[in-house]
Structure 1
Amino acid sequence: MSTTDERLRVEYVTDPAAAMSRLAAADRFGEYVMYERPGEWVFAADPIGSVELDVHELRVTWEAETTAAAWTGAPAGVLDEALGRLPLAGRNAYGWIGFEFCAWALDATRHLDPRAPIAHLMIPRIEIKVGESGVEITGATAEEIDDIHDLIAASQDSPLPQPQPIDIRTDPTGYEGRVATAVDEIRSGRYQKVILSRKVELPFAVDVPSTYRLGRANNTPARSFLLRLGGLEAAGFSPELVASVDEDRVVTTEPLAGTRAFGLGDDVDMAARADLVSDPKEIVEHAISVQTSFAEISAVADPGTPAVSDFMAVRERGSVQHLASTVRGKLAADRSSWDALEVLFPSVTASGIPKREGVDSVFRLDGDQRGLYSGAVVTISPTGAMEATLVLRAVFQTTDGAWLRAGAGIVGQSRPEREFEETCEKLGSIAPYVVKA
């Protein structure tokens, strides 16, 4: 049996989410990142190399040898250069970038915990791709291919796991009070908008692969992910791209702003949609987000190429529906994918406007480091193409515990009780599907 490009029968993958969950739960392939994009699911595992960045140190590992050094400059450039020094030989890279990645570009490093991780990228030995043509396996041994074949076959038509109820309405973080503070700051002219979030700590350990499978069966994400990397486990159902740069160097971002509940029945959903598209607060919030995204893409694109499409469309994402737009431009010849990510990160719909003041408010009022929440899961091809999908609607777990997190966009017209309710609506995309370990 060949060790590369081994194709399995299409009928084995009628349920790709089940296949991905089973591969992750099998615990045979070391650390992994699973990433779903339209038409393709990739399970990348058993790293042969990695690039880790924290506030003070860069660590680069290749074939079990690690070098560590202090770093200076911008995180995007440091990561780009570190990947460029590795003998990738055509391999892809996968990983995550934390919200704190933005602190250097937005003059917010004073807020950082010295131990805060900024990014963790890995280069896998094994890639398993599931698409319309079946399953393609690269980098695996013959024995591993047999194991993968068996795992995927066994996953199909298996019953869905059962969730553990979670109380999402208890809030020890004082969310409504923090929203009221932000509204006062906005009305005093300090900034226009900020996204404040609240953390929901879980009283039990989570089966993250099973949570991914159950959640994916009940969500309609733009992208989804499942990972175990550097002591962090996470699974989520991303509503939007922070940034993508395709093989033709077209850079895209998808700002979402404006939210109502979804999935409560056709009549209720349509009434909520009508309210969403006519609510002045939501329209203003979305319009200034699109304006900001357009300006950011203009900073790295060829003049005349930035454009907005699908302006203020309604997109359904699990338990919520959003106002959404798409902004694109042609990346300038002297700019890289990492330059595009740096200017677009963090997503305007997860930080604030202006971004510098909004991010400062996030650090001050959210009260703790966000880490992967409102950061990005990333894929980088050897040609420089990149996707960075926004990490929202997710569950997180380390040895210290498991948690959920959700936020809402605060503007001058915001009411604290409504913004709290919005966080509950967003938590409804993940909380009902959390599976206890």
Structure 2
Amino acid sequence: MVESSTFENAWLKDFSALCRGFLFTSPWRSLVTQGCYTTLTEPVQDAAALDGDFQQQLRQHFAAAKKQGIEKPILVGAIPFDVSQPAALFIPESHQTFKRADLLAALPTELSALPAVRRRAAVPDHDAFTQMVADAVAATQRGDLDKVVLSRLMDIVTEQPVDSAALMQRVMAQNPNSYHFHLPLPQGGVLLGASPELMLRKQGRDFSSCPLAGSARRDSDSQTDRAAGETLMNSSKDRHEHQLVTDAMRSTLQPRSRLLSVPTVPSLITTSTLWHLATQIDGEVQDPRENALSLACLLHPTPALSGFPHQQAQQLIQQLEPFDRQLFGGIVGWCDDAGNGEWVVTIRCGTVHDSRVRLFAGAGIVADSQPESEWRETGVKLDTMLRAFGLQ
């Protein structure tokens, strides 16, 4: 099966058809898939090992796909926060690439309405979440760990089933510069979102990453908005949180890199709702067998998703969070048989199954975090998805 480099405009305008497969958009390369050649649902615990079982199976699946006439096979899908859990990955029968700007331009000016919301509930509620944060702050102050990322959910029930393609259109229109993903799940329903954070992009031997840690709410007044960004850049709490992430990523990537550039000072980037501290990491792999998936799994989960040190952070997350993150806080993207690909962090996202919607947001907790402030920050992050329902 032959992949084409661009869609015909008619394809781009049939958004519901695009959402039947895996839809992924990026400023670098956007794609959509058709059909499923085979699934890979086993955990990716050893996927960072170039000679590990997962990478050997992936090479075998790619070779078999080529024999079946899939000229340029790719692996697509999502990996959970806990890599010991099953993945949601598959090799499609075919795929097409396109320019994100073309898809955004093809979105209708009048977007379909979403069904009315019957009820919504925070999981955990305000008091339980702020107590979680207070417990985590105490743990960091005792020296048990340096940082932990705690998250919360928003459960929504609608009057009628949600058309996930219509929801995806609204999310894209409101967040045009994010990485967008819409993934049908094996157990039914879909995972969709508009992530601001690149975990790993690889082209040839070159790779890049752009972790985010430390954020502040934006303001409609331009002067107040700029001041919020400057305050974030000068915040010792947020700079410390960000430094923990970049230091850990440097030490993880260094042994596998021939060249590696990690700036010592972060930069500021924006989404429609937040300022973020970001660091653009660039490198070149030592081993030509590295692929986008091996590097992404080497990094995942970064301290921006779990905390630092990771083992202690993951134990505290399991102790404090009253739910299983599953695919939330994981990574979603693709990798081709040449090793190129792109994976983004599964944040600013939700799952949709009939009339039930579950949204996810997290925040990094360090020794001087304030519980009420973290509740507000996660609320702003939930706004990315809530705005599509008119509930921000």
> Structure 1 length normalisation: TM-score?
0.77
What is the 5 A alignment of 1:367-406? 367-398=322-353, 401-406=356-361
Q: Does the Cα contact within 8 Å between 2:262 and 2:280 map onto a contact in 1?
A: yes
Letter in 2 for 1:100: D
Count of aligned residue pairs for this structure pair: 374
2:172 alignment counterpart: 216
SS in structure 2 at match of 1:128: strand
SS in structure 2 at match of 1:429: helix
Please state how far the C-alpha of 1:430 moved relative to its aligned partner: 1.2
Q: C-alpha separation between the residues in 2 aligned to 1:389 and 1:43?
A: 16
Letter in 2 for 1:348: P
CA RMSD between the two structures: 3.1
Letter in 1 for 2:215: T
Letter in 2 for 1:386: G
Asked if 1:47 is matched to 2:3, the reply is no
Letter in 2 for 1:88: A
Please state how far the C-alpha of 1:306 moved relative to its aligned partner: 1.5
2:90 alignment counterpart: 122
Q: Which structure 2 residue ranges, 5 or more long, are not aligned?
A: 67-71
- Provide closer, same or farther for how the CA distance between residues 399 and 430 of structure 1 changes in structure 2, counting only shifts above 3 A: closer
Q: Which structure 1 residue ranges, 5 or more long, are not aligned?
A: 56-72, 104-116, 136-151
Q: C-alpha separation between the residues in 1 aligned to 2:313 and 2:23?
A: 31
Q: Does the Cα contact within 8 Å between 1:219 and 1:318 map onto a contact in 2?
A: yes
1:285 paired residue among 205, 230, 241: 241
Q: C-alpha separation between the residues in 2 aligned to 1:177 and 1:410?
A: 12
Please state how far the C-alpha of 1:354 moved relative to its aligned partner: 1.4
What is the 5 A alignment of 1:52-91? 52-53=41-42, 74-76=46-48, 77-86=52-61, 87-89=64-66, 90-91=72-73
2:203 paired residue among 242, 246, 253: 246
- Provide closer, same or farther for how the CA distance between residues 257 and 46 of structure 1 changes in structure 2, counting only shifts above 3 A: same
Please state how far the C-alpha of 1:227 moved relative to its aligned partner: 1.1
SS in structure 2 at match of 1:413: coil
- Provide closer, same or farther for how the CA distance between residues 393 and 285 of structure 1 changes in structure 2, counting only shifts above 3 A: same
Q: Does the Cα contact within 8 Å between 1:207 and 1:435 map onto a contact in 2?
A: no
2:275 paired residue among 321, 346, 369: 321
Asked if 1:198 is matched to 2:155, the reply is no
Please state how far the C-alpha of 1:401 moved relative to its aligned partner: 3.6
SS in structure 2 at match of 1:258: strand
Please state how far the C-alpha of 1:300 moved relative to its aligned partner: 1.8
Asked if 1:331 is matched to 2:320, the reply is no
Please state how far the C-alpha of 1:411 moved relative to its aligned partner: 0.2
Q: C-alpha separation between the residues in 1 aligned to 2:167 and 2:153?
A: 18
Q: Does the Cα contact within 8 Å between 2:6 and 2:97 map onto a contact in 1?
A: no
- Provide closer, same or farther for how the CA distance between residues 20 and 385 of structure 1 changes in structure 2, counting only shifts above 3 A: farther
Q: Does the Cα contact within 8 Å between 1:241 and 1:390 map onto a contact in 2?
A: yes
Asked if 1:21 is matched to 2:7, the reply is no
Please state how far the C-alpha of 1:367 moved relative to its aligned partner: 2.7
Please state how far the C-alpha of 1:421 moved relative to its aligned partner: 0.5
Q: C-alpha separation between the residues in 2 aligned to 1:270 and 1:7?
A: 38
2:223 paired residue among 267, 276, 293: 267
- Provide closer, same or farther for how the CA distance between residues 310 and 207 of structure 1 changes in structure 2, counting only shifts above 3 A: farther
- Provide closer, same or farther for how the CA distance between residues 398 and 321 of structure 1 changes in structure 2, counting only shifts above 3 A: same
For residues 293-312 of structure 1, give each alpha carbon's deviation from its aligned partner in whole angstroms, at most 9, with x where no partner exists.
1111113212xx21124941
For residues 116-137 of structure 1, give each alpha carbon's deviation from its aligned partner in whole angstroms, at most 9, with x where no partner exists.
x4212111123233228979xx
Asked if 1:172 is matched to 2:125, the reply is yes
Q: Which moved further from structure 2: 284-293 or 168-177?
A: 168-177
1:107 alignment counterpart: none
Q: C-alpha separation between the residues in 2 aligned to 1:125 and 1:239?
A: 29
Q: C-alpha separation between the residues in 2 aligned to 1:412 and 1:98?
A: 27
Q: Which moved further from structure 2: 389-398 or 205-214?
A: 205-214
Q: C-alpha separation between the residues in 2 aligned to 1:365 and 1:118?
A: 22
